A and B are shown apart, each in its own frame.
Chain A
Amino acid sequence: MRYLITIILALAALQSESQVSDSLSVKLLHQEMIYWQAQSDSVRFYTLLDKARLNRNAGLYDNAINELYRAEKFCAGTKQHTEMSYEKMLNYFLADEYISCSEIVLDSGAIANHYDEYLTMRLYSMNEIEKWESCKSEMIKACNKGDTAKISEIKNLPVSYNYKNPEKCRRMSAILPGLGETYAGYPFKGFTSFVLNGGFLFFAGYNFYTSYYVTGVISGLLPFKKFHAGGKRLSAILADEHNEIESGKLKKKYREEISSIIH
């Protein structure tokens, strides 16, 4: 009997809201208890959605996304589906998962309360994953029809940048050491590569000419082979770096336009 009474008191204490403190884990526990005791799928769904929001507010985006995946089982109807998808999109966006964020498409009518947020996330994500054609068309749709200046400004935005193919750079460096690096936009590194490779090749040739064959191979050809391969690898890396810088510049332009469209 004493054991029964203590259990009853414990349950009363657990269920009493006045005993719940403000810390996150206690709030999550409270929500989980409601979920556990819920009789309907709708209650379970909204409890898990609240848990996801609590996690999101605490910056635990992965946990929030896990809760939303749990909530998917109990999702019924378009309203609940829209709420869940919007919350997923927000968490993906805050966790920098722009590909997953851009894949979520919602009906503008259904998302009327959060349309600005939805549009910002969608445009920003498409910009981050370099889908500039789609981003541009959505930006034009989002503009006021009467604002022809803005629309023409958006239409004039480029959809690509000065891309340097890393494979092409690698092949150029294979033919002439230093050419690939120069093509990628780093002439000084190209010059260094040319001097190093040329120097070792010259040294090898000089040694062969003076009949020092072993020295020619070991101190001339082998280092030349290493630096030649290194030059190819470096030109590909430099091409990627160049592409990152150029893409960053274009993304910045798009970000400025996006922030001017969204109020």
Chain B
Amino acid sequence: MSLIKTHIENEKTKNAPQKRVIHMRVSFNPVKMILFVPLYLYQKFVSEQVSAVCEFEPSCSNFGLQSIGQLGFIKGLFLTADRLTRCNGEAQPETKYYLIDHQSGKVIDEPGMYKIKD
């Protein structure tokens, strides 16, 4: 009976509702604020209203954040624009099989994959 009671107790903590957390570290930099605050507001209020669920991992907005952070402003912006062009639901058939995360079904597409130098 103790085994059953322990399982029931564990279920109570497991069933607690989980909030969606948006991770963004923004240090106080006015230039970064101009760029990242609208993106944060988009992720919090607008992204769930869009019809398509991004088939890429990370999502397009996170890709934009990461690419600007890793590759610089101009390259990051161009790469984000290119990603937005590609995010149209047709990426999977043209992707190499090893890039598909078989658990989530999403295509792994990180900014680090788009560097000129190895």
Are A and B direct contacts in the complex by CB distance below 8 Å? yes
A227 contacts B49, C-beta separation under 8 Å: yes
A196 contacts B49, C-beta separation under 8 Å: yes
Q: Which of B60-85 contact A (CB under 8 A)?
A: none
A122 to B89, CA, bound (A): 45
Residue of A nearest to B45 (CB): A192
B15 contacts A193, C-beta separation under 8 Å: no
Encoded as 1 (CB less than 8 Å from any B CB) or 0, chain A from 117 to 149 comes to 100110010000000000000000000000000
Give every chain A residue within 8 A of B49 (Cβ-Cβ).
189, 192-193, 196, 227, 230-231, 234
Asked, given contacts A192-B45, A196-B46, A255-B8, whether A227 binds B3 with beta carbons under 8 Å apart, the answer is no
Give every chain A residue within 8 A of B8 (Cβ-Cβ).
120, 124, 255, 259
Q: Tell me if B52 is interfacial: C-beta within 8 Å of chain A.
A: yes
Encoded as 1 (CB less than 8 Å from any B CB) or 0, chain A from 243 to 256 comes to 00100100100010
Task: Please give the distance in Å from A203's CB to the nearest CB on chain B.
Answer: 15
Give every chain A residue within 8 A of B17 (Cβ-Cβ).
245, 248
Q: Tell me if B94 is interfacial: C-beta within 8 Å of chain A.
A: no
Q: Tell me if A171 is interfacial: C-beta within 8 Å of chain B.
A: no
Question: How many A-B Cβ pairs are below 8 Å?
Answer: 49
Give every chain A residue within 8 A of B12 (Cβ-Cβ).
255
Tell which of A96, A120, A227 touches B4, judged by Cβ atoms closer than 8 Å: A120
Q: Which of B1-40 contact A (CB under 8 A)?
A: 1, 3-4, 7-8, 11-12, 15, 17
A93 contacts B15, C-beta separation under 8 Å: no
A209 to B46, CA, bound (A): 27
Give every chain B residue within 8 A of A124 (Cβ-Cβ).
8
B7 contacts A93, C-beta separation under 8 Å: yes
Please, could you name 30 A-B residue pairs with CB atoms under 8 Å apart, sorted by A? A90-B3, A90-B4, A93-B4, A93-B7, A94-B3, A117-B4, A120-B1, A120-B4, A124-B8, A189-B48, A192-B46, A192-B49, A193-B49, A196-B46, A196-B49, A226-B50, A226-B51, A227-B50, A228-B51, A230-B48, A230-B49, A230-B50, A230-B51, A230-B52, A231-B49, A232-B51, A233-B51, A234-B48, A234-B49, A251-B15
A interface, CB within 8 angstroms of B: 90, 93-94, 96, 116-117, 120-121, 124, 189, 192-193, 196, 226-234, 245, 248, 251, 255, 259
Question: With A117-B1, A120-B1 given, can you name 19 additional A-B contacts, CB distance below 8 Å?
Answer: A90-B4, A93-B7, A94-B7, A116-B1, A120-B8, A121-B4, A124-B8, A189-B48, A189-B49, A192-B45, A226-B50, A228-B51, A230-B49, A230-B52, A234-B48, A248-B15, A251-B15, A255-B8, A259-B8
